[in-house]
Amino acid sequence: MITASAEFAHPAATVFAAVARIEEHPSWQRGIESIRVLSGDGASVGSRFAVRVVESGIELDLEGEVVESMTPELVRHVLENSDATLDVTVRVTPLASERCRLDYSAAIKVHSFALKMLRGMIESKLAEKAEADLGALARHLSTAQGADGR
């Protein structure tokens, strides 16, 4: 299980909206080259999307689906291809003074023998990426807040 957490100096609804709008993920998630909504609005349960990841010389195409969403506190995506399935849950908890905490968890299941041999390394890299992405999300939200004048 891969986990990461961060506190944000933004209201829970603002942070949740940024996470729920999957088409904006390339602006703050390292390695995501593109996301295309295939069906639905990209945020509600049943919405499907295609993700292209280019990271450390690896190119990966995944199809994802929003399998659970409880605005403004939880969203869960399942992304998969023939080699792996990634089950990602993001939970946003309001805190005092217009702050919130984001808890990220992901479980990876590998289907190919080659990836099974590399599972530990893959999980380690994904954990590092999750921490970096939460920092990038904080910067993205601060920049967006400054642009909006809020």
Is residue 54 included in any domain, yes or no? no
Is residue 58 included in any domain, yes or no? no
Work out how many domains the chain is built from and give that number. Answer: 1
Is residue 125 included in any domain, yes or no? yes
pLDDT tens per residue, range 54-112: 887 778 899 999 999 998 899 999 999 998 899 999 999 999 999 999 999 999 998 88
Is residue 42 included in any domain, yes or no? no
Both tokens of 6, joined, read 């961060």
Is residue 72 included in any domain, yes or no? yes
Q: Which CATH number fits the domain that encloses residue 104?
A: 3.30.530.20
How many residues comprise the chain?
A: 150
Range(s) of the domain holding residue 80: 2-21+67-148
Mean per-residue pLDDT, 115-120: 75
Task: Report the pLDDT value the prediction gives residue 146, as an integer from 0 to 100.
Answer: 60
pLDDT tens per residue, range 73-84: 999 999 999 988
pLDDT tens per residue, range 5-48: 999 999 999 999 999 989 989 999 989 999 999 999 988 999 99
Long-range contacts of 112-119 (CB under 8 A, 24+ apart): 112/82, 112/83, 112/84, 115/83, 115/84
Is residue 26 included in any domain, yes or no? no
pTM for this prediction: 0.85
